[in-house]
Copies of this chain bind each other. A is one copy, B any other.
Amino acid sequence: MTSLSTNPYKGTRDYYPREKRIQNYIFNIWARTVKQFGYEEYGAPMLEPLEVYTAKSGDELAGEQTYRFTDRGERQVAIRPEMTPSISRMVAAKRQELAYPARLFSIANFMRYERPQRGREREFWQMNVDMFGAAGVQADAEIITLGFETMKAFGATPNMYSIKVNSRTLIDAMMQDYLGLDPIQAPLMVKLFDRKNKISNEDFRDQAIEIFGVDNAKEGLGKIAKLLIAKEISSLPSELSEHETVAELSSLFEVLQQRGVTNVQFDITLMRGFDYYTGTVFEFFDSHPDNNRAMFGGGRYDGLVGLFGAEPISAVGMAPGLSPIELFLESHNLLPEFASTTELYMATLDESLIPQAYDLASQLRSEKVNVELDFTGRKLDKQIKTAVKKQIPYVVFIGENEVKSQKFNVKNTKTGEEEAVVFERLVTLVKDKRHNYSVDDNDLFE
């Protein structure tokens, strides 16, 4: 019989304890931060009816990127490629019972057909943070502030990244009123702007000419040039600067400044891919030269809940992803060193002492120390080696003398130092060492 492959499925990752610690660290900081702002956790199914995505997510995502299949009951289903349609469905289902503004978050995995590359997997994890039932600047500001506060909690300073902001209503005005595009041309131009940083200036120009048509191309390109030099909202061309959204965005920038969110900038070229956005959109960009890319984004999508037969409910949210944040933290040297969640390895010198060792381990566990008991009866150096390999900070040795004297030799696996201690000191020694990055009493799953 040929043996089975040990590789994970294409584009997915196995998280061994070392990788899982990093994942948990990021999840934990996310959850702690948004819970401090009053967001409550929810969970949604990994499968949804396919139509939930075809209705509004944008062609590429619903069509080419979604894992879809027909189930045994002949239902068209999809593995969720994103969370926004699921949480919109959930809010629509309990529209009457929920209290507003509803502040909700989740941390979950998703799947999309992607060409796997650094920081982009077919199975990926992200947090979704959304506020339902509140329109306006304060709501938009809170979501962007949350993004800023999660980054701060990772140790990031504002110079390490920037927050680009635009608005769908301004984009619409720009496409229709300012550039004079019709309903067929406008979405093509949005897609072209969306790809702007991925193609050459020549390609952008050529494709823009194609959209404008030869007769209008010269005037259109001139107007685009004027747009692109507007690095601040106040320097927009006069045809756009009177638009009501401009005042709203100015007010948004002001609130963000007050809250210390200083690395925000207006960016008229920011489009965001999803079809469901209706107002403010934003993206967090890594400023590191090795990793100059969008990390995550979000925006306002006031129409999505209404697709589920409920009255429309205002909604704004964002979705930071695990892999982009991990790359960011690596690039900026912000990832702490992680030890095992196991704090003490108990090496037993003689198998006959296992019952006594077990009792001591139980006492330590009731003091909330995480103890791994080695009952293998192997040579001592092998037991120590196991503890070191597992990155467990301390080893304690249990022999006949230790059991009699109730004094225990403890070895620090990093420094090699050894110390003979009584039970109480053993507890404090281990607890003092605990997670210096730590998240103490405010964790996820609480």
Is the C-beta of A77 less than 8 angstroms from some C-beta in chain B?
yes
The answer to whether the Cβ of A242 comes within 8 Å of any Cβ in the partner chain is no
Complex Cα distance, B138 from A24, in Å, reads 30
**Contact A4 to B309, CB < 8 A, known contacts A71-B67, A390-B40:** yes
Question: In the complex, A21→B369 CA distance in Å?
Answer: 25
Q: Taking the nearest CB of chain B, how far is it from the CB of A233, in angstroms?
A: 21
CA distance in complex: A370, B105 (Å): 14
A21, B42: Cα distance in complex, Å: 8
Q: Does A14 contact B (CB under 8 A)?
A: yes
Q: Check if A227 is an interface residue, CB within 8 A of chain B.
A: no
Q: Which residue of chain B has its CB nearest to the CB of A17?
A: B40
B41 touches A20 (CB 8 A): yes
Could you tell me if A93 and B14 are in contact, using CB atoms closer than 8 angstroms?
A: yes
A12 within 8 Å of B by Cβ?
A: yes
Contact between chains at B92 and A6 (CB < 8 Å):
yes
User: Residues of B contacting A258 with CB < 8 Å?
Assistant: 355, 358
Stretch at the interface among A171-179, A263-271, A438-446: A438-446
Q: Is the CB of A93 within 8 A of B368?
A: no
Cα distance, A219 to B412, chains bound together (Å): 64
Contact A79/B46 with A442-B368, A443-B445 known, Cβ cut-off 8 Å: yes
Q: Which of B23, B42, B385 contacts A17 (CB 8 A)?
A: B42
Chain B residues near A445 (CB-CB < 8 A)? 24-25, 27-28, 31, 439, 443-445
Tell me if A36 counts as interface (CB < 8 A to partner B).
yes
Tell me the bound Cα distance from A73 to B114 in angstroms: 12
Any B CB within 8 A of the CB of A69? yes
Say which one of A49-57, A180-188, A210-218, A286-294 lies at the interface with B: A49-57
The residue from B37, B46, B51, B441 contacting A109, defined by CB atoms under 8 A apart? B46
The 8 A CB mask of A300-326 against B (1 = contact, 0 = none) is: 000000011110000000000000000
Interface: A90 (CB within 8 A):
yes
In the complex, chain B residues whose CB is within 8 Å of the CB of A52: 4
Question: 8 Å CB contacts to B: which residues of A41-90?
Answer: 41-49, 51-52, 55, 67, 69, 71-73, 75, 77, 79, 89-90
Chain B, residue nearest A5 (CB): B49
Tell me, rounded to whole Å, the shortest Cβ–Cβ distance linking A58 to chain B. 16
A355 CB, min distance to chain B CBs, angstroms: 6
A10 within 8 A of B: yes
- Partner-contacting stretch, out of A95-103, A156-164, A243-251, A396-404: A95-103
Which residue in chain B gives the minimum CB-CB distance to A443? Answer: B443
A369 to B32, CA, bound (A): 10
A309 touches B3 (CB 8 A): yes
CB-CB nearest in chain B for A145: B358
Q: Say yes or no: A47 contacts B111, CB within 8 Å.
A: yes
Chain B CB within 8 A of A340 CB: yes
- A9 CB contacts on chain B under 8 angstroms: 45, 47-49, 75, 77
Collect the chain B residues with CB atoms within 8 Å of residue A416's CB: none
Assess the B341–A10 pair: CB atoms within 8 A.
no
Is A196 an interface residue when CB atoms closer than 8 A count as contact? Answer: no
A40 x B342 contact (CB < 8 A)? yes
Q: Is residue A373 within 8 Å, beta carbon to beta carbon, of the partner chain?
A: yes
- Interface 0/1 of A422-446, CB less than 8 Å to B: 0000000000001100111111111
* A35-B370 contact, Cβ under 8 Å, with A41-B20, A49-B5: yes
| Interface status of A328 (Cβ within 8 A of chain B) | no
Q: How far is the CB of A395 from chain B (nearest CB, A)?
A: 12
**Interchain CA distance A256-B25 in the complex, whole Å:** 35
A365 in the interface (beta carbon within 8 A):
yes
Nearest 5 CB-CB pairings of A with B:
A38-B372, A3-B309, A443-B443, A15-B43, A12-B45
Give me 24 A-to-B residue pairs in the complex whose CB atoms sit less than 8 angstroms apart, sorted by A's number.
A3-B307, A4-B52, A5-B308, A6-B308, A9-B49, A9-B75, A10-B73, A10-B75, A14-B43, A14-B90, A15-B44, A20-B41, A20-B43, A24-B446, A37-B371, A38-B342, A47-B111, A69-B69, A71-B113, A138-B354, A142-B373, A370-B442, A434-B441, A445-B445
